[in-house]
Amino acid sequence: MGIGVSIFLLALGAILAFALNIDIAGIDVHVIGWILMAAGVIGLIMTALIWGRRRQVVAPAETVEYRSTEPVEYRREAPPL
């Protein structure tokens, strides 16, 4: 889940929990709102943890340069006829 989806779930859950006063048989809209808000908070925390790990700076490994002690010969080939 990304940040956008988490914020959407938080907003939708808050609307269902606090703004609506609907009675549906067998469904408690306020509980569904609280569940959506909890899912949004968990999504934000998980996204922050995952992004925090991605942004860690890792020191590059030491590069080793190999040099040959033999002289390098450059050959020039004749162009094709």
Using CA atoms, how far apart are residues 73 and 63, in angstroms rounded to an integer? Answer: 26
Mean pLDDT, rounded, for 48-75: 71
Mean pLDDT, rounded, for 41-59: 79
Question: Domain segments of the chain: what residues?
Answer: 3-54
45-81 burial by CB neighbour count: b if 16+ within 10 A, else e? Answer: eebeeeeeeeeeeeeeeeeeeeeeeeeeeeeeeeeee
DSSP states along 34-76: HHHHHHHHHHHHHHHHHHHHHT---PPPPP-----SSPP----
Per-residue pLDDT tens digits for 9-48 = 999 999 999 998 888 888 889 999 999 999 999 999 998 8
pLDDT of residue 54 exceeding 80: no
The predicted pLDDT at position 79 comes to: 74
Regarding pTM above 0.85, the answer is no
